[in-house]
Structure 1
Amino acid sequence: MILLAEPPESGPSSGDAPDGGHDPLAGAGGSAAGGPALDVALGPLLLRHGLGDAVDILRVHSPGPTAAFSRRDTLRPGYTRAAEVVRQAGFVPVVRPQGGSLAVYDQGSVVIDHVHRSGPAAPDPAARFAGFATMHAAMLARLGVDARIGPVPGEYCPGEYSINAAGAKLAGSAQRVTRDGWLFSTVLQVSGAARLRPVLTSAYAELGYPFDPATAGAIEDSVPAVTTAAVRAAVLAAYGVTGPAVRLPRAVLELLRS
């Protein structure tokens, strides 16, 4: 498995690579250069084109403020208004290729993008949801979270394999399956749920989806000492990543920008 390097989160040299060159993934809050729009485009690009001969590619990052709509959301009569609502709140509206419905996240989140290039194998998306939910819940349990698998009534981006604690959603996943393999994305909300609730409330009202703000939670609500850095480290351990991270090749970045 190849782990993509996460850029420095802040500072005047956040775009500088250790060798003095430019880190092509550098951006505010761990986002790809160009921000949330390129963040959501990177996974599908790697799924289609790959990265050398790697079968599995993992990116674990904390992005800038992002409002990730699904393609289904864009068909709702209130989509244009919802996009404007999140933009006014400081979140960049993007359309992700994975399924589900609107998810809002920011620097208090840890996003896992796992690309698996298996070729045209028969997909088994339900089993994949179940397997990753089990792994992520066990990972959170090791951090002291009473993590449960299952939907929470009134949650945002509802799903059978949401991860929750004390009646609030902490994590959700979505996936994309193509002839090249699959992209499985998970958002773990570590801190700052209070920042997200009003944005979700307004946007979901415009989209016409039911939503209970109390169901939007964060890991810090039950384990205050847990940080995004600790969660990222736990993710790498859960995925068995032991080798060094690699920077995104410049040629891939140029393809992304094009």
Structure 2
Amino acid sequence: MMENNSLLKQKKWRIIDQSSTGLHVSPLHSFGMDDTLCASVGGGLAPATARTWVHGKSVILGIQDTKLPYLKNALAYLEKEGFQYIVRNSGGLAVVLDEGVLNISLILPEQEKGIDINSGYDTMWELIKYMFSDFHKNIEAKEIVGSYCPGSYDLSIDGKKFAGISQRRMRSGVAVQIYLCVSGSGQKRAEAIEEFYAIGKNGEETKFAYPDIVPEVMASLSELLGVELTVDQVLTKLLYSLKDHAEFLFADQLQGEEIPLFDSYYERVIERNEKFLSPFR
């Protein structure tokens, strides 16, 4: 069970499910949404919110990825392989999204003492452990060397990474975001990023150390748990897990002041993305 002081315990959890609508919009939409929710939850307009999102075949780049010496060629490769791509506004490096990857954002209000960075990561780790506790597998949080977008809160089973966590903080709100590779081949996704970096570096030394991808260290939850999991099944697990940690759980969409807020944050995300990518188009 969770510790009593767990940030998962909330009086109310609001759920915004965009796991099907996200397939019809750019991933930029999701980063605009999370900024909006950071502002509304942080400003007391809305309770703690869990947002679920799925996008079509995409590569989400980090800012450092835009400094690859042969980025234009690497982006041409992604296009040839059928990926759309954007530059995100939270930390980290390139990750793959597709219909078998479920993203979960937990948007929490900063408390009086504030939420330290590790507490944000730990909250998501605890949630994922709780959601999949019935499989009796040890889900570790540690860097998986050879994975894409490596970090100290890579989530893995038996040394194979299936998820990565990032954070976005603004306006007294904290968005903790995770991508969960639910189905499909984790190795194939990693091979695409491996090729992206090989083309983007083209053998040149770079100031920034991009990861040397070892595709075999990445897998999906379906592969690791030995069952054919679907995004919908994982969504159900998420809802039950949050219900266990809230007095009240309700489904919702953007309301009132959040709607014009979204318009302005989405516009910012689009402009920022354009600023980074326009030189390479």
**TM-score w.r.t. length of structure 1:** 0.79
Partner of 1:71: 63
Deviations along 1:56-102, whole A, 9 cap, x unmatched?
12111222122111123223334433333223222221111111111
Deviations along 1:150-197, whole A, 9 cap, x unmatched?
222211111112111233111110001224221110011011125413
| 214, 224, 228: which one aligns with 1:225 | 228
Partner of 2:6: none
Partners in 1 of 2:195 and 2:132 — Cα distance?
29
Indicate the larger mover: 152-161 or 233-242.
233-242
Partners in 2 of 1:204 and 1:211 — Cα distance?
9
Partners in 1 of 2:97 and 2:238 — Cα distance?
18
Q: Does 1:198 align with 2:191?
A: yes
Q: Highest CA radius of gyration, 1 or 2? A: 2
Secondary structure at 2:49's aligned position in 1? strand
Partner of 1:169: 161
Secondary structure at 1:133's aligned position in 2? helix
Secondary structure at 2:86's aligned position in 1? strand
Partners in 2 of 1:151 and 1:27 — Cα distance?
29
Q: CA 1:247/1:179 → structure 2, altered by over 3 Å: closer, same or farther? A: closer
Q: In 2, are the aligned partners of 1:70 and 1:102 still within 8 Å (CA)?
A: yes
Q: In 1, are the aligned partners of 2:31 and 2:88 still within 8 Å (CA)?
A: yes
Secondary structure at 2:164's aligned position in 1? strand
Q: Report matched runs for 1:31-110 at 5 Å.
A: 34-50=25-41, 53-110=45-102
| Structure 2 letter corresponding to 1:156 | Y
Q: In 2, are the aligned partners of 1:119 and 1:179 still within 8 Å (CA)?
A: no
Q: In 2, are the aligned partners of 1:119 and 1:181 still within 8 Å (CA)?
A: no
Q: In 1, are the aligned partners of 2:182 and 2:222 still within 8 Å (CA)?
A: yes
Q: In 2, are the aligned partners of 1:147 and 1:165 still within 8 Å (CA)?
A: yes
| Structure 2 letter corresponding to 1:229 | D
Partner of 2:250: 244
Larger RCO (CA within 8 A; separation ≥ 6): 2
Q: In 2, are the aligned partners of 1:123 and 1:177 still within 8 Å (CA)?
A: no
Q: Report how far residue 41 of structure 1 moved.
A: 2.2
Partner of 2:3: none
Partner of 1:151: 143
Partners in 2 of 1:235 and 1:95 — Cα distance?
27
Partners in 1 of 2:34 and 2:15 — Cα distance?
13
| Structure 1 letter corresponding to 2:27 | P
Partners in 2 of 1:80 and 1:40 — Cα distance?
23
Secondary structure at 2:254's aligned position in 1? coil
**TM-score w.r.t. length of structure 2:** 0.74
Partners in 2 of 1:177 and 1:247 — Cα distance?
21
Q: Report how far residue 257 of structure 1 moved.
A: 5.0
Q: CA 1:171/1:214 → structure 2, altered by over 3 Å: closer, same or farther? A: same
| Structure 1 letter corresponding to 2:15 | L
Q: CA 1:257/1:129 → structure 2, altered by over 3 Å: closer, same or farther? A: closer
Q: In 2, are the aligned partners of 1:71 and 1:95 still within 8 Å (CA)?
A: yes
Q: CA 1:35/1:145 → structure 2, altered by over 3 Å: closer, same or farther? A: farther
Indicate the larger mover: 187-196 or 143-152.
143-152
Indicate the larger mover: 55-64 or 137-146.
137-146
Secondary structure at 2:72's aligned position in 1? helix
Secondary structure at 2:195's aligned position in 1? helix
| Structure 1 letter corresponding to 2:216 | A
Q: Does 1:4 align with 2:16?
A: yes
Structure 2: state its 5+ residue gaps. 1-12, 202-209, 268-281
Q: Report how far residue 130 of structure 1 moved.
A: 2.7
Structure 1: state its 5+ residue gaps. 10-25
Q: CA 1:202/1:178 → structure 2, altered by over 3 Å: closer, same or farther? A: same
Secondary structure at 2:90's aligned position in 1? coil
Q: Report how far residue 146 of structure 1 moved.
A: 4.3
Partner of 2:273: none
